[in-house]
Structure 1
Amino acid sequence: MVASVDPGTGFVTALSGGSTNITYTINSGCGAPASSFQVLNVSGGANPGTISGTSPLCIGGTTTYTSNGDAGGTWSSSNPLVASVDPGTGFVTALSAGTTDITYTVAGPSASFKTLTVVSGAAPTVSGPTNVCPYLGNNVQVSYTANTPGASSYTWTLPPNVNLVSGAGTSTITVTFNAGFALQANKQLRVRANSVCGVSAQTIYYLLVQFPSTPAPIVASTNNVCPSLGTLVPITYTIPKVLGATSYVWSAQAGNTTITSMNGPGENDTTVTVTFSSSFSTSAITVQAVNDCGVSGIRSLTITRSNPSTPGLVSGPTNACAHITQGGTAATYTVAMLPNVTSYTWSVPAGAIGLTGQGSNSISFTYPAGFSSGTVSVVADNGCGSSGIRTLAISKLNPSTPGIIDVIQSNSCPNREYSYTVSSMPANATSVLWTVPAGATILSGQGTTSITVSYPSTAVAGTVTATAQSNCGNSVTRSVDVKLPACPIDEFAKGSVQTSQLPVDALSVQVFPNPAVSDVKLMVKTTMKEQITVRVLDLQGRELHRMIIMPDALKSFGSNLKAGAYMIEVLQGNKRTVQKLIKL
């Protein structure tokens, strides 16, 4: 079609080169239609023609492309990195392996192109299975493919015991393998590519008859099998894939285990779950990799059924006295937590009251009234069994005799007060029972290791006793004698004083004020006439000052003493008194 025209408007569109008549017709209905026409000549477009030229080219090769179309066109390359072309002459130079379109364009625009392949002449790449174990001696056909862009043919060289089925001279061959291939040294498949560049270098493709290697170590989701025994709770075991393996063989203790493959049989069978019966004993789970060449070495992991370790030492009271019912407190016994233990089983003396904590690593209870001796024992338990027994012996221990009673005078006549102290609570005792002479009063401390006693101003003679007590009984009694004269009628200057445990007989000493900030005053009343020696000592017994005074004399001293505690020793004949002085 040269041109088209709109029937109503006469609008003409030129479509292709040539001539045509444009006709206008009137139909009046009164006779034959009347018409006239005009000849329309349409000029045709430019002709790029058909391109001729060599393809493929070797890298570095040249050629000139031509066209049988209109002259005066322009040449171009779609990929100038593969090949360049002279725009005016069509001279082509191959630069690198690949393809490019060489295009010839004339006015219009009209163009035609030809695809050029540039060949490197490199050695071919080869693809196909390398481990041929699955194909030995069974006539299974295997394909290998060589690839060099632009190659026109290929030359294959097969090793012994490899049979060519088809594909000689082509890029893909099909072969079969004899069983003897596994035993020979030469397992090289060789191929060269033929192209405009000539014959390529040889590619050697190495074939293998590869037995699977021994699997890597088995990894378990847990090494503690005990909680799973006799349950449906599985343990997972995993290995990495083995190169060339087509399947795996897992095994565990027959009759007491069930193995389930998580990924099904085959080359992905690298993860299994195992459930264990309650009768399972220590044994191994094993795995081997398999392919058509054979079976790998065995990889094993020992699964140990291990009873818990014997618990450590039981901590808690070994003397039951403080923990016997009717006044005693609960005794608590504990062992350190052990790994892989689900519970602890305790055994306690018969009649134990209020036992709590059974199953844990700590229990509490009180002993019955008639308890005399026994044991507390514990074993650790888990799904594998029970540990050895840990035992603690329990007995009733009577209190020890209190230690030496220290005596300190804390106030002098007429309101005499003394403190009586044992150094510590006697072993196995819960309290100390004190008694004092008639007329004396315990002001404080009954039941403890120290009491304060008030004495009347009249003469007092007797003993102070201390007896250790517990729920199990009383100790031997410790005592100290008391012999106090009646207080003198005339009173000394009052102050707070302290005396040693030696009783005051015919020698009365006052040190005041005590505690003191500056000077201290000393007065000694005595019925004897000998001179009086006074020594100031530190708490280590070192003498700091010595002086001689007369009876009833008031002596000042101590202004040079530093803050601290001191002992004031007063000696007259065979009488000795020691008082404690506090200097602020």
Structure 2
Amino acid sequence: MKRSYLLTAFFIMLFSTRLVYGQISGCTDPQSVNYNPVATLNDGSCTYSATSLSLTDKASLSAPLLNESSGLTFLDGKMWSFSDSGNPNDIYRVDSSSGAILQTVDISNATNVDWEDMTSNDNYLFIGDFGNNNGTRQDLKIYRINKTSLTSTATAVTASVINFSYSDQTSFPSLPTNNNFDCEAMIFLNDSIHLFSKNWVDKQTKHYVLPNIPGTHVAQYRETYNTGFLVTSASVQKYGVIALIGYLRTGTYPVSMSMIYDYKNHLLFNGNKRKFDLSTQLVYGQVEGIEFSNTSTAFVTNELYTNGSTIPAKLRTVNIGAYLPASYLYPKPDAAFTANNLQICAGNSVSFTDQSTDSPTSWQWGFPGGTPSSSTAQNPQVQYSVPGIYSVTLIATNNAGSDTLIQTNYIVVSGAPAAPPIPTGSSVVCKNTAGNIFSVTNTPGTTYNWSVPSGASISSGQGSNQIAVTFSGSAVNGNICVTANNGCATSAASCKLVNVALALPSKPSAINGSLTQCAGTSGVVYTCSTIGSATSYNWIVPANVSIASGQGTNSVTLNFDQNFAIGTLKVAAVNCLGSSAFRTVTIRSKPSVPGLVSGQTVGVCAGTTGVAYSIAPVSNASSYNWTEPANAAIISGQGTNAVVVDYSASFVSGTLRVAAVNACGSSNERVATIRSFPAKPGIINGITSVCANQTGVAYSIAAVNGSSTYNWVVPAGATITSGQNTPAIVVNYGLNGGNVKVRAGNSCGFSSYRSLATAIVCKETLNDLIELNVEVFPNPSSTEFTIQLNQLTTDAEFILRDVTGRIVESRKLAANELIFSCGGQLPKGFYIGEIWTNRKMKTIKFSKL
């Protein structure tokens, strides 16, 4: 049941928790037996004498579908109801005059376990499936239905589900009609669903609150009210008055209703609570539904009742208007008014007309500066004698309260106007030109009279605050003047001297402003000298710079974006005859990144001192910031483009950094890596599977920067036949495999080893051990190499590698092919040749000039 309403600002103010200094708490309801006439803050202590109300029959509800009518609500003025447990999962639109069913809508995804009440807000209808006579239910839910789906022709809709449990229920024993967790009453208020329990045990009701969104929630307990009856339905009207209705199943089976209002602090039972006797079930049956149709009248329904006599399901009304303060029945006024004239001359009058809504019964006006200064008439007339701007106040009142409207600066009373400001416009004009604009600030309700020098004429705008002037060939220097008239009087004149231009303006003499500007700087001002015959100034800014303000004047404000580096700022003076030459200046930002660092970077041994480093000077730099490596110190030159560094006994390697600096900041750093001994060599090139006693096996690495020597180590039983201390060696194997290792060295020491694991996978045959002699000529060679063999009894392969091990040339050799050429297209450098016969290899070194 239960219409959802957002409380008005008045209602929120009334229920505010803030205690105002000097207020008196007590019962504020004059109808109570303990009314305190001096109380200004209701404390919920009001008590009332016993009061009886009668229900008025409206119609019998349609049988049998509404014989167990329980929920009741209005949606957009249309009444809806349903029957409770065991009945179809249908809701019915009911004719509130006849009780007839006008429309049936099936909630297709719902089950009527024990539907008990219904409520709504602006968007949704809520159906409460929370009847719980035994106290055992753990499937309590509320169905939420979008109101837009309940069209006049709808026959079925679906609902989303709000599942919930009670925050204070921890066990679920079966206690038929003997528990305090049954519920049949629900309202929607202040964006939440509020539940009122049907306490079978103590005949009280508990107030719970839960969100109105689908999902699983816990209904939070807030408070308890000793109603003295079983609550079976609830409703709330637009001003927050809540009605709880129900009965007792003892004695005469009385039917009762409680009216609750003037509550606060998010609670409902701390305000006024007035109980009414509605006779008995023998008269009205078992009441199950209540819903307000307006602020004073509610509809009530009952189930078909048989207990010695039969009471059919009926629709009735109850009126509580006589028991509520006016502020809960109709709204206080909304103060409003109009005036017949908002701008007048001093000495004239204004007629005010009340436009307040909701039938005010009294009015209190305030007219500062007027005669009279106040009035209680509904539509007063007021005279204003002194120029000024005046506010007007209206307090409109009815039995529900008052509303105040203050119109600030509402009435403008004018005397003689002040002289206009000096007209704006060019002070230098050219002969035979039209459309020269002159203006003053406009004051509403004012007309302006302009005059111009000899040889000039007003082409448009006379009477307004802006004119266009044409200067003929006979125009002379003179004043452009203007007066203001506000309908009450005419002001004194204001004038601007205008000179006729005879030549181009001269070039500005200088541009003033900083010539170093950081990227990202904004609000930087530049000015140039004023030129007497100039009417404006044309500024041209560098790339990545924008003019924030001042273009056309001799002072501009510039913004430099993050990409600004360097550029030229220009300005020229302009008048109607043309432009002067440009005056220019160059503006710079922070320096660029320094160039390469000069000085020793490899072979800087621990303990070395006095090592010099430098960079080329950087344009626009005022200093340089150097950062030394770990275990090193700059001993001189910091701030300049050249430093001297000492290295400690712990130095191994690190980075030397330098940035150029000026007032805008530092450039990005130039970085140089400084090492003592060389870096660890790269990968070792060469074969990893060899034969026992295999000879001439080549291994190599890429040359290491800063290395002056190389130390090779081969497996036990193997020997280095050539290349020790160089990046490439030739090895003769014995019977064992193992690691081939190499490290790079210089005068400071050696790097760590690079390793390559090798393994013996075969043995040489007698034929493999036949000696192969090789001659190369010429060697070194600037053209090609000729290779001659002493014998070749089997097919073979020739492979030529560079010092990194990369194959640069190869060919097949036939048996007895004892002479061939290679290397004609190779660039200068060192190379290693390999001649393979079966599993035996012969190596040869080549030098290309």
Q: TM-score range by the shorter chain?
A: 0.3 to 0.5
TM-score (norm 2): 0.25
Larger Rg, first or second structure (1 or 2):
1
